[in-house]
Structure 1
Amino acid sequence: MAVSQNSKLVTVFGGSGFVGRHVVRALVARGWRVRVAVRRPDLAFFLQPIGAVGQIHAVQANLRYPESIERALVGADAVVNSVGILVPSGKQTFEALVAEGAKQIAEAAARAGITNVAHISAIGADAESAAGYGRAKAAGEAGVLAAVPGATILRPSIVFGPEDDFFNRFASMATMSPVIPLIGGGTKFQPVFVGDVAEAVAMALEGKTEPGGVYELGGPEVKTFRECIEVMLEVIDRKRAIVSLPLRIASMQAWLLEKLPKPMLTRDQVRMLARDNVVSEEAKAAGRTLEGLGIEGRTLEAILPTYLTRFRPRGQFNMPRTA
C-alpha cells in the first residue's frame, strides 16, 4: 500500500546510523514520509521495508558540502540531525561534522523556512569540556539554536540497543579475553534505550517539547561503568575479571592506539570518561527528561537479553545461570 502523499515530509540526516535508523522507524510509525540524507544512499536501502511503498527515500548528502544539505531539505516540513561520530577520521572531524555540520543543517533549514528541527546532541556537551567531543557538541547546539531558536536539543546519555558500539564491543571482548579492562570504573552512566531516544525525537517534531528546549535523556537507572559491565556479563553468562585502569595509564595506551587506522580508544574518549554522564538536576526540575515527556524508559536488564544472546557460550540456546 502506497503512503498518502498528504503526509508531511521529514529529512533525517544520518538516518542510516545507529540512532538514526530508530528515529526513522519511530517517524514512519507516525505516518511521516522520511527522506534519509546520508553520504552513501546505496547503504541505506535496508530501511525501506520499515515503511510503506514510497514512504522512505534515501538521498546523498555530505555535511561538508552545504549545497548537498540544501538539496536534501527541498520540500521538507521538518528536520532531524542524528549525525555523530566518536572517533575522527580524515576529513570527518568533530569540527566539520559535529559542530559546523550541525550549524550548516540549521542554517539551511532556516533559509528554507523550516522551523521544526530536532537536533541530537549528547550529555557532556560543554564549551569548557576537556574533550574535543564535548566542545564540538556544545558548538553544534549553539549553531542550531542561533539559526533556529525554536529547535529542540536532545542530549542522551550512553545509548544502548541492537547496533550499539558499547555493549556489543565489551560482549565480544568477553568471548575472547579473561579480563575486561575499565577506564576508571566509577564513572556514572544513565544508559538510555535507543528506541526511547527515537520516541523523544518523534515527540519533538509533534510539538510536544518546549521550543528551544534542551532535553537530557537518561534511562531509569544510574549505573557505574563497572555495574554496566557486570550486567552485560550476567546476560551473556560469562565470568570475567574486571580490571580498572587509572586514567593516566589509559591515556598513555590511547595515545598508542590512536596510531592505528581504527583505534579502539582515543585520548579524547578517556577525557570524556573522567566525567559522569547522567541527567542533571536542572533538567529534572524543568521536566526536560524522558519522564517529563511521558516516556517510560526501558532498563538494561529488559533489553540487553534481546540482542546479546549470540555472545553466550551456546548462543540463544544457553540460558543465564540463576542464583
Structure 2
Amino acid sequence: MELKNVLLIGGSGFVGGWIASALSQRGVRVTIATRHRDNTKKLIMLPTVEMVEAKVHDQQALVELMRGQDAVINLVGILHDRDSRLPYGKGFAAAHVELPKKIIAAMKESGVRRLVHMSALNATHDGVSEYLRSKGDGEAAVQAAIGELDVTVFRPSVIFGPDDVFLNVFAKFLKLFPIFPLGGGSARFQPVYVGDVAKAFCDSLGDRNTFGQTYDLCGPKVYSLRELVEYTARLIGKSRRIIDLGNGGWAYLQAGLLWLLPKPPMSPDNLRSMDVDSVTDGTHDYPGWQPTALEAVAPSYLSPTEIGQFRLDRYRLRAGR
C-alpha cells in the first residue's frame, strides 16, 4: 500500500518533528497543520514538508486540509489542563476526545481512510487521572471507526530523546538544586525512544496487517522514577540528595506548587497518572519491535562529554554526510 501524501495533525511537537523527518527521508509529502508557522522553522527546512496555518478544531478547516491526502496521523495531546474537573477538564476534552471525533468525521467527508492515532499507555474510560480518562475516551472514539476507516492506534509509555520534556526536565532541576524532593519516586516506567516511535508510525502507515490493531510502544527496561532521576544526575555529573516524598500528601503538595508555575513540570493530575505503572507485558507489542535502550541514547544529549559529538553527528546526518 503506497502512500504519497500524509497529513500530520499535532506535527509541530517533539514526536511530530521526528515523524515528519522520517517520512521526508522516505520521499513522502507531509502536510503539517500548525497554529503559528513561524514557530516551526526547523520543520520548514525539511524537503517534502509543507507547513500550513490552520485551526484544526474547525471542522471545515479539517476537511480542507484532508483534500488530496492519503493518510492522517493524529499526535495531538496535552499534559496539563487548568480546567480540572470530573471526568476531565475542557482542555483535555477538546484535545483528546473532541478533536479525534472531528478528525474521523472530516476523514469520512473527504474520503480519506487511513488513520494512525497516538493514544497513551493505560488510557481508559475509567482511568486514574483526567489525562488517562480523556485519552481513553478519545481512543474509544477512534476504535469505534474501525471498519469505516483503516485505523491503527499506538499507546506509548513516556517518550525520551533529544529535546524531550522528560529527562531534560530532571536535568534542569538537578542542575539548580542540591536537594531534590521527589514525589512518586516508586512509580514505574518503561521509557521508549522517540526514534523508535517515529519508525513504528511510519512503518505502519502502508502495512495492511496493522489495520484495526492497537499496539503498546515501550522500551526494553523498566525503571522507577527515582532510578531515572538518579541516572540523569549521573549523566550530567551532579551529586544530589534525593528525598522521596512518597505518593501521599507531601507529593501532592509539591505537585500543587509546581502546578502554579507558568510552564509546570508536574501537576496533581500527573501524579495521579503515576498511580498506575506505565509498563507493558509485551503481549501487544508492535510486530518486530526491537526498542533502543535508554542508556544507548540518553548520554548523547545529557552527558557534557558526549553532547558536542552528538550535535556534530546530527549535523552530518541532516547534511547527508
Task: Identify the residue that residue 33 of structure 1 maps to in structure 2.
Answer: 29
Between the aligned partners of 1:148 and 1:189, the Cα distance in structure 2 is: 30
Instruction: Quote the RMSD (CA, aligned, Å).
Output: 2.2
1:62 correspondence with 2:55: yes
Between the aligned partners of 2:8 and 2:36, the Cα distance in structure 1 is: 14
Between the aligned partners of 2:94 and 2:73, the Cα distance in structure 1 is: 18
Structure 1: tracts of 5 or more residues without a match: 1-5, 318-323
- What does the per-residue CA deviation read over 1:200-234, in whole Å, with 9 as the maximum and x for residues that have no partner? 10111021642111100001111111111222122
1:146 correspondence with 2:144: yes
| C-alpha contact (below 8 Å) 1:45/1:58 kept by paired residues | no
Between the aligned partners of 1:193 and 1:209, the Cα distance in structure 2 is: 23
Between the aligned partners of 1:26 and 1:76, the Cα distance in structure 2 is: 18
- Taking structure 1 as the reference length, what is the TM-score of the superposition? 0.86
The one of 132, 135, 139 equivalent to 1:134 is: 132
| C-alpha contact (below 8 Å) 2:237/2:303 kept by paired residues | no
Q: CA deviation at 1:158?
A: 0.5
| C-alpha contact (below 8 Å) 2:183/2:252 kept by paired residues | no
- Aligned counterparts, 1:1-323, within 5 A: 8-51=4-47, 55-88=48-81, 93-149=91-147, 150-207=150-207, 209-248=209-248, 249-279=250-280, 281=281, 284-285=282-283, 288-290=284-286, 292=287, 294-310=288-304, 316=308
Which stretch of structure 1 is more off in the superposition, 41-50 or 232-241? 41-50
Task: Identify the residue that residue 320 of structure 1 maps to in structure 2.
Answer: none
3-state secondary structure, aligned to 2:32: strand
Structure 1: which amino acid aligns with 2:125? Answer: A
- What does the per-residue CA deviation read over 1:279-323, in whole Å, with 9 as the maximum and x for residues that have no partner? 1x3xx33xx314x2x24211111101111135x7x9759xxxxxx
Between the aligned partners of 1:228 and 1:260, the Cα distance in structure 2 is: 23
Task: Identify the residue that residue 3 of structure 1 maps to in structure 2.
Answer: none
| C-alpha contact (below 8 Å) 1:186/1:224 kept by paired residues | yes
Between the aligned partners of 1:159 and 1:38, the Cα distance in structure 2 is: 22
| C-alpha contact (below 8 Å) 2:300/2:307 kept by paired residues | no
Which stretch of structure 1 is more off in the superposition, 129-138 or 86-95? 86-95
Structure 1: which amino acid aligns with 2:143? Answer: L
Q: 1:233/1:255 Cα in 2 relative to 1: closer, same or farther (>3 Å)?
A: closer
Structure 2: which amino acid aligns with 1:129? Answer: G
Q: CA deviation at 1:262?
A: 3.0
Structure 2: which amino acid aligns with 1:304? Answer: A
3-state secondary structure, aligned to 1:22: helix
Structure 2: tracts of 5 or more residues without a match: 84-88, 310-321
Between the aligned partners of 1:212 and 1:315, the Cα distance in structure 2 is: 41
Structure 2: which amino acid aligns with 1:154? Answer: F
Between the aligned partners of 1:59 and 1:92, the Cα distance in structure 2 is: 26
Structure 2: which amino acid aligns with 1:265? Answer: M
| C-alpha contact (below 8 Å) 2:158/2:191 kept by paired residues | yes
- What does the per-residue CA deviation read over 1:91-134, in whole Å, with 9 as the maximum and x for residues that have no partner? 97110011111221122112222121100111020111120000
3-state secondary structure, aligned to 1:87: coil
Between the aligned partners of 2:256 and 2:233, the Cα distance in structure 1 is: 28
| C-alpha contact (below 8 Å) 2:128/2:275 kept by paired residues | no
Between the aligned partners of 1:61 and 1:183, the Cα distance in structure 2 is: 39
Structure 2: which amino acid aligns with 1:57? Answer: E
| C-alpha contact (below 8 Å) 1:189/1:224 kept by paired residues | yes
Post-superposition, which runs of at least 4 consecutive aligned residues in structure 1 deviate over 4 A? 89-92, 314-317
3-state secondary structure, aligned to 2:210: coil
Q: 1:257/1:226 Cα in 2 relative to 1: closer, same or farther (>3 Å)?
A: closer
| C-alpha contact (below 8 Å) 1:117/1:148 kept by paired residues | no
Between the aligned partners of 1:113 and 1:206, the Cα distance in structure 2 is: 17
Identity rate, percent: 37
- What does the per-residue CA deviation read over 1:63-95, in whole Å, with 9 as the maximum and x for residues that have no partner? 332222222111100000111110125797110
- Taking structure 2 as the reference length, what is the TM-score of the superposition? 0.87
